[in-house]
Structure 1
């Protein structure tokens, strides 16, 4: 038995599960759902398939746990730069760094998962982010209202969603991270004119 496998067999409980889910995330992002098999994930995590099957009965369950685990590790706090513009740009730039690859995967590589489970990209996004992204944007916008930068009457649910909806659209349409000038245009040319207090 190799030293690495001997060390891996000593992992237990939460440590083992985290190692499996980290390996599963790497496998998913590198190989897509087609290459996201129990065997491939077990090999990458340096463990055995029965260890995975004891925790997740299906590949779809493993995928959901993998995405939720990755999302839990992300920083989704609301930046506080002192202005709505600065906060939104900081949040969008962070999403660009953390999530653009996942959004490409979401649109280009999970077709088999959607067909197999009847799930949608929105449901997968919810697994990744839960309510945290909505709370972050709400914090940014609420602070903007308090500072008098934003007219609260403009903040309908659809308007609140504009920055991230446009960001996701750009990633999915171009299958790559969004150029910084486009992020600035989303904030300066589209969103702020919609909500700016007169």
Structure 2
């Protein structure tokens, strides 16, 4: 039987909530807490008070603060439009700039805190919808596929590790180096000095092997 709010935690006149309605109230409260104070300020008792419930109701759904924080972040994450500027360089730069704006934003600060708390645990990172392997690779494979169709790259370049090397390097600026944002010249360097040469060399190398 699903646990509902206890009488002591429910304000007078409020209808007892169960199931999805209670879960939505808890998530909304967690989102509000993280928006106001970041993941570092997320506390189960504060979320319970804001949601008008008790901590037991939260722990029945999320076993710890990190699990609740990840679930709340997923409510906030949005998908940016996919660039289509007509060239691989322009599209790759725009994808990096979108990611840089996100990681530099208050929401990105929350994301960096969650990554640090997860300690690189793959099963936890995978729950961050916009940061899972497939979600990260999808836009890069799309723009790279368009480049292949235009003749800018060979089909051999269509590999997830090749496609995502630029975004991995940018992520390292934030997660490993602790940078609050990446200057645009760093994004240009990643694309011009690493990403595009790798894409081109991949096709040449595979052609030579054939």
Structure showing greater Rg? 2
Distance 2:16 2:97 in 1: 39
- Does residue 1:166 correspond to 2:130, yes or no? no
Q: CA deviation at 1:62?
A: 1.8
Q: How many residues align?
A: 182
Q: CA deviation at 1:37?
A: 2.3
Q: Which runs of 5+ in 2 are unaligned?
A: 1-10, 205-210
Q: How does 1:1-198 map to 2 (within 5 A)?
A: 17-18=23-24, 20-25=26-31, 27-28=33-34, 30-33=37-40, 35-43=41-49, 45-49=50-54, 50-70=56-76, 73-99=77-103, 100-108=108-116, 110=117, 114=119, 120-128=120-128, 129=130, 130=132, 131-172=134-175, 173-196=177-200
- Change beyond 3 A, Cα 1:158–1:90: same
Distance 1:167 1:146 in 2: 26
Higher helix share: 1
Q: CA deviation at 1:140?
A: 0.9
2:89–2:191: 8 Å Cα contact kept in structure 1?
A: yes
Q: Paired residue for 1:117?
A: none
- Change beyond 3 A, Cα 1:65–1:103: closer
The TM-score with structure 2 as length reference comes to 0.68
Distance 1:139 1:9 in 2: 48
Distance 2:12 2:98 in 1: 38
Secondary structure, aligned partner of 1:150: coil
Which protein has greater RCO, CA pairs closer than 8 Å, 6+ apart? 1
Distance 2:14 2:98 in 1: 33
